[in-house]
Structure 1
Amino acid sequence: MGIGCPRRSQCKIIIATSLMWIMVDFMILLYYTAPCVGPNCNKNAANDNAIRRMIDRANEWINVLPEEKKQMDIPRPVNLDAPGEMGKPVIIEPEFQEEAERLFRINEFNLMATDRIALNRSLPDVRPKGCINKPYPTNLPTTSVILIYHNEAWSTLLRNVHSIINRSPRHLLEEIILIDDASDQEHLGQKLKDYVAKLPVPVITDKLPERSGLIRARMRGAELAKGNVLTFLDSHCECTEGWLEPLLARIAEDRTISVCPVIDVISDSTFAYQHGNDPQMGGFGWSLFFKWFPVPKREQVRRKGDATMPVRSPTMAGGLFAIDKEYFEELGLYDPGYSIWGGENLELSFKLWMCGGSLEFIPCSHVGHVFRKKSPYHFPPGTNYVNKNNKRLAEVWLDEYKNFYYRISPGVAKTDPGDLTERLALRKKLNCQSFKWYLENIYPESSWPVNYKVMGEVRNMASQQCLDTMMRDPGNKVGLFGCHGQGGNQIWALTSLNELRHDEACLDVARGGPVMMLSCHQQGGNQQWMYSDKTKEIKHSSGLCLDTSEKAHDEPSVKPCNGHLSQQWELKNMTWLSPQGA
Structure 2
Amino acid sequence: MVRWIYFKRRLNIRFLLILATFFLFLYMYFYFPSTYLENVAEEEKLRYRKKRYENYQQSEPHRSGPGEQGQSLTLKGEQAEKARLIAKKEAFNLVASDMIALDRSLRDVRDPKCKDIKYPKELPKASVVIIYFNEAFSPLIRTVHSVINRSPPEYLKEVILLDDCSTRHELGEHLKNYIEETWPDNIVRIVRTKERSGLIRARIAGAQAAKGDVLIFLDAHCESSPGWLEPLLTRIKENPKAALCPEIDNIDHNTLSYGGTGSFSVGGFWWSLHFTWRPIPAHEQKRRKSEIDLIRSPTMAGGLFAIDRAFFFEIGAYDTGMEIWGGENLELSFRIWMCGGSLEFVPCSRVGHIFRSSHPYGFPSKKDYHGINSMRLAEVWMDGYRRLFYMHRRDLLGKDYGDVSERKTLRQNLKCKSFKWYLDNVYPEKFIPDENVHAWGMVRNPASNLCLDTLGQDEKVSFHVGVFSCQNGISANQIFSLSLNDELRREEGCAQINRIGDKPIVHTCNSNNSNQKWKYFKSNGTLVHALTGACLESTKNGQQVTTKKCSTQDTQKWAFEHYLDI
After TM superposition, the score normalised by the length of structure 2 is 0.86
After superposition, the Cα gap between the structure-2 partners of 1:275 and 1:71, relative to the gap in structure 1 and judged at 3 Å, is closer
Counterpart of 1:179? 162
Counterpart of 2:15? none
Q: Secondary structure at the match of 2:383?
A: coil
Counterpart of 2:76? 93
Q: How far apart are 1:106 and its partner, in Å?
A: 3.2
Q: Do residues 548 (structure 1) and 538 (structure 2) align?
A: yes
Q: Do residues 332 (structure 1) and 316 (structure 2) align?
A: yes
**Which residue of 404, 409, 416 corresponds with 1:420?**
404
**Contact 2:247/2:346 (CA < 8 Å) preserved in 1?**
yes
Provide, for residues 83-107 of structure 1, a one-character-per-residue CA deviation record: whole Å limited to 9, x for no partner: 1111111100123222111221232
Provide, for residues 284-309 of structure 1, a one-character-per-residue CA deviation record: whole Å limited to 9, x for no partner: 112111111111111111002x0110
Alpha-carbon distance between aligned partners in 2 of 1:180 and 1:464, rounded to the nearest angstrom: 55
Unaligned runs of 5+ in 2: 1-43
Q: Do residues 146 (structure 1) and 126 (structure 2) align?
A: no
Q: How far apart are 1:81 and its partner, in Å?
A: 3.6
Counterpart of 1:480? 467
Counterpart of 1:204? 189
Q: Give the root-mean-square deviation of aligned CA atoms.
A: 2.1
Q: How far apart are 1:505 and its partner, in Å?
A: 2.0
Q: Do residues 370 (structure 1) and 354 (structure 2) align?
A: yes
Question: Which of 537-546 and 408-417 deviates more?
Answer: 408-417
**Which residue of 233, 239, 248 corresponds with 2:233?**
248
- Name the amino acid aligned to 1:545: C
- Name the amino acid aligned to 2:83: A
Alpha-carbon distance between aligned partners in 2 of 1:400 and 1:573, rounded to the nearest angstrom: 18
User: How do 1:507-518 residues align onto structure 2 when only pairs under 5 Å count?
Assistant: 507-512=495-500, 513-518=502-507
Counterpart of 1:453? 438
Q: How far apart are 1:164 and its partner, in Å?
A: 0.3
Alpha-carbon distance between aligned partners in 2 of 1:570 and 1:70, rounded to the nearest angstrom: 71
Alpha-carbon distance between aligned partners in 2 of 1:346 and 1:92, rounded to the nearest angstrom: 39
Q: How far apart are 1:461 and its partner, in Å?
A: 1.9
Q: How far apart are 1:77 and its partner, in Å?
A: 4.5
Q: How far apart are 1:434 and its partner, in Å?
A: 1.1
Q: Do residues 261 (structure 1) and 246 (structure 2) align?
A: yes
**Contact 2:163/2:190 (CA < 8 Å) preserved in 1?**
yes
Q: How far apart are 1:70 and its partner, in Å?
A: 12
**Contact 1:538/1:569 (CA < 8 Å) preserved in 2?**
yes
**Contact 1:549/1:557 (CA < 8 Å) preserved in 2?**
yes
Counterpart of 2:523? 534
Alpha-carbon distance between aligned partners in 1 of 2:52 and 2:151, rounded to the nearest angstrom: 16
Q: Do residues 130 (structure 1) and 109 (structure 2) align?
A: no
Counterpart of 1:105? 88
- Name the amino acid aligned to 1:285: W
Alpha-carbon distance between aligned partners in 1 of 2:282 and 2:215, rounded to the nearest angstrom: 31
Q: Secondary structure at the match of 1:283?
A: strand
- Name the amino acid aligned to 1:458: V
Alpha-carbon distance between aligned partners in 2 of 1:382 and 1:263, rounded to the nearest angstrom: 30
Q: Do residues 323 (structure 1) and 307 (structure 2) align?
A: yes
Q: How far apart are 1:197 and its partner, in Å?
A: 2.1
Alpha-carbon distance between aligned partners in 1 of 2:170 and 2:563, rounded to the nearest angstrom: 56
**Which residue of 442, 445, 467 corresponds with 2:426?**
442
Counterpart of 1:155? 138
Q: How far apart are 1:574 and its partner, in Å?
A: 8.6
Q: Do residues 381 (structure 1) and 356 (structure 2) align?
A: no
Alpha-carbon distance between aligned partners in 2 of 1:559 and 1:111, rounded to the nearest angstrom: 54
Q: How many residues end up aligned between the 2 structures?
A: 508
Q: How far apart are 1:119 and its partner, in Å?
A: 1.1
Counterpart of 1:566? 555
Alpha-carbon distance between aligned partners in 1 of 2:125 and 2:51, rounded to the nearest angstrom: 26
Counterpart of 1:14? none
- Name the amino acid aligned to 2:355: F
Provide, for residues 149-174 of structure 1, a one-character-per-residue CA deviation record: whole Å limited to 9, x for no partner: 11111111111101100100101100
Alpha-carbon distance between aligned partners in 1 of 2:262 and 2:88, rounded to the nearest angstrom: 31
Q: Do residues 470 (structure 1) and 459 (structure 2) align?
A: no
Alpha-carbon distance between aligned partners in 2 of 1:103 and 1:278, rounded to the nearest angstrom: 28
Counterpart of 1:42? none
Over 3 Å off, 4+ runs: 68-81
Counterpart of 1:409? 393
**Which residue of 66, 86, 100 corresponds with 1:83?**
66
